[in-house]
Structure 1
């Protein structure tokens, strides 16, 4: 089963691998949304995202790189 919006830690791990040169603290939510949707394992509905879900993913990504 693929990644869903609620899988913030797993998404953060994949984003840190796919975008290792990016500081996640400065990523705009519009870019974050596009990058999550572009992940090979992502299978959720792009329209089901929210600011809260994107923020959780961003915070998990920040924790992952630190």
Structure 2
């Protein structure tokens, strides 16, 4: 998975962290959780604020 795989990342995060409210997550935690996903294989520094916002929104949509 790459940073551009927003929806796949959101699904994986929802599965990995079902107890987490994605509307209340800090971006530092979100970034760390994304790069820790087993399927994630991209430059850790490329996950900027816009990408993290998109992942957060996709995660919110996934659990809604």
TM-score with structure 2 setting the length:
0.98
The aligned residue for residue 41 of structure 2 is 43
Aligned residues: 64
Gaps of 5+ in 1: none
Structure 2 stretches of 5 or more lacking a match?
none
What is the aligned partner in structure 2 of residue 18 from structure 1? 16
TM-score scaled to structure 1, two decimals?
Answer: 0.95
1:58 to 56, 59, 64: 56
Say what the alpha-carbon RMSD is for the aligned residues: 0.4
Give runs of aligned pairs for residues 4-15 of structure 1, distance below 5 A.
Answer: 4-15=2-13
Tell me the CA shift for residue 15 of structure 1: 0.1
